[in-house]
């Protein structure tokens, strides 16, 4: 997708998916939050539309969802997620651009470091927000960071690592077929 207007349209679609997808996963409260539903369209936006669109969609989506639907809570959840998802959308596009071949290996090669960077950015944002609010830093220890950022998110990470490459494979097949006509 090379057209500026096409990328804007796709970015808007990914944002809409990010706003609506949590309604589906939250039907199962025990695992709904662990599935990290807003992450999937942000990764796809970064991969398909590029870093500036991925960054914008990643930053705006959790904040807009909080304002429109009251979930996640604006502070500190949506604000922390905004920095995390913006990192995902930006870095997945940057890393994906480094690969000559745009195949499944490239998708994984872009997603995995982006996931790690995004989690670290979330942890830093969360610690800074707690510090600004006057809370003691002991309230957000390395153990809480690892548990909240990685262990509790394992179902979502697994879902992302299955679903995003599958969607990208389908999108790449469609593009090849469209160009062959």
Query: Could you tell me the residue ranges of all domains in the chain?
Result: 4-179
Which CATH number applies to 4-179? 1.10.1760.20
CA-based radius of gyration for the chain: 16
What pLDDT, in 10s, does the model give residues 2-29?
A: 688 999 999 999 999 999 999 988 887 6
3 burial (CB, 10 Å; 0-12 / 13-18 / 19+) is exposed
- Tokens for 13, please give them: 């679609």
- Is the bond into 75 cis (omega within 30 degrees of 0)? no
Q: What is the mean pLDDT of residues 137-165?
A: 80
- 76: confidence class by pLDDT, cuts 50, 70, 90: confident
Residues 6+ apart with CB under 8 A from 156: 34, 35, 36, 37, 39
Alpha-carbon distance of 44 to 53, in angstroms, equals 10
Instruction: Give pLDDT tens digits for 102-128.
Output: 999 999 999 999 999 999 999 999 888
């Amino acid at each position: 997708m090379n057209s500026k207007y096409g990328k804007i349209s796709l970015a808007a679609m990914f944002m809409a998916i990010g706003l609506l997808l949590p309604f589906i996963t939250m039907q199962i409260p025990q695992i709904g939050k662990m599935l990290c539903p807003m992450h999937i369209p942000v990764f796809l936006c970064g991969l398909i539309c590029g870093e500036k669109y991925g960054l914008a969609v990643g930053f705006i989506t959790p904040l807009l969802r909080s304002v429109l639907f009251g979930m996640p809570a604006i502070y500190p959840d949506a604000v922390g997620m905004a920095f995390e998802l913006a990192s995902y959308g930006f870095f997945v596009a940057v890393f994906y651009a480094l690969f000559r071949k745009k195949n499944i290996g490239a998708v994984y090669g872009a997603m995995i470091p982006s996931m790690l960077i995004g989690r670290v950015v979330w942890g830093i944002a969360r610690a800074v927000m707690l510090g600004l609010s006057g809370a003691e830093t002991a309230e957000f220890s390395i153990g809480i960071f690892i548990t909240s950022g990685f262990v509790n998110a394992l179902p979502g990470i697994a879902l992302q690592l299955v679903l995003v490459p599958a969607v990208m494979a389908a999108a790449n097949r469609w593009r090849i077929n469209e160009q062959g006509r």
